[in-house]
Amino acid sequence: MSDGHIAGIDIGSRSIELVVLNDGKPVCQIKTPTTFDPLRQCEKLIRQVDAQSFVATGYGRKLFADSAQGINVTTITEIQAYALGARHLLPEARTVLDIGGQDTKVIALMESGKVAKFEMNDRCAAGTGKFLEFMATALQIPLEAFGDFALESNKRIQINNMCTVFAESEATSLMARGEKAENIAMGLHLAIVQRTLAMLRRVGGEHPIVFAGGVAHNRCVRKLLDEQLGQEVVVPDNPDMVGALGAALFGRRALAAAADGPRA
């Protein structure tokens, strides 16, 4: 079945991802910052692609759907989108971990791929990409280099506060006592991983685990997760795109179901 071009758009707090499928295969993947005007950013993205329908997910999905004019838009939750995207990339996946800009999601999957249970931290920046960004700025390290910087540490210290304000105060106090910035960076990464492990335990956290979201690019977080879990997490080639891919796949399934028509 030729399904034409179907686009999935994941409107997150920090970035927007767009994936276009044609005959079930990604033919376009675009990422842009959300900024303070997500609708304008969405408009810029959709003008770049030729798609017959859009499926939106992420925190801005309803805003996008309500404002869309002249295009076919449906919405699905982030949980649905990430489950579909991860399972497509790794059919045997049993858990999805997404550490994004301002939330963390852990999704347990049944053998069939359906969602069994999930947990989401979306009320506090602790343990998210925003926390890493804030602390990287405090230590004057570029965010994209923060993980590699932490891996240069020669010891692992404990950071007791996950609140960004108190964590910065604790980091400043440690530096005043002569602690190396690399060791502080490692302590901050450890704090995030420990928080993530607690979430994984609460939902079951069976392997294989697909690690999605922007923080999946961070080598230190990946290394610490692998160490603590005793098994490697699976990081897709484009971990940022998992949600948008899942949204597009949902659209393709819906189109196929409509084409088949109602069953007798």
Which pLDDT score, from 0 to 100, does residue 262 have? 59
Q: How far is CA 49 from CA 71, 81, 109, 240, in A?
A: 12, 20, 32, 19
Whether the CB-CB separation of 154 and 183 falls below 8 Å is answered with: yes
Which pLDDT score, from 0 to 100, does residue 100 have? 86
Model confidence over 228-242: pLDDT tens digits?
999 999 999 999 999
The angle subtended at Cα 38 by Cα 34 and Cα 41, nearest 5°, is 80
Which pLDDT score, from 0 to 100, does residue 264 have? 44
Which pLDDT score, from 0 to 100, does residue 164 have? 67
Model confidence over 50-109: pLDDT tens digits?
888 999 999 999 999 999 888 899 999 999 999 999 999 999 999 999 998 888 999 999
Q: Domains in the chain, ordered, with CATH?
A: 1-90+239-264 (3.30.420.40), 93-235 (3.30.420.40)
Model confidence over 129-138: pLDDT tens digits?
888 998 899 8
Which pLDDT score, from 0 to 100, does residue 238 have? 95
Q: How far apart are CA 47 and CA 19, in angstroms?
A: 13
pTM tops 0.85, yes or no: yes
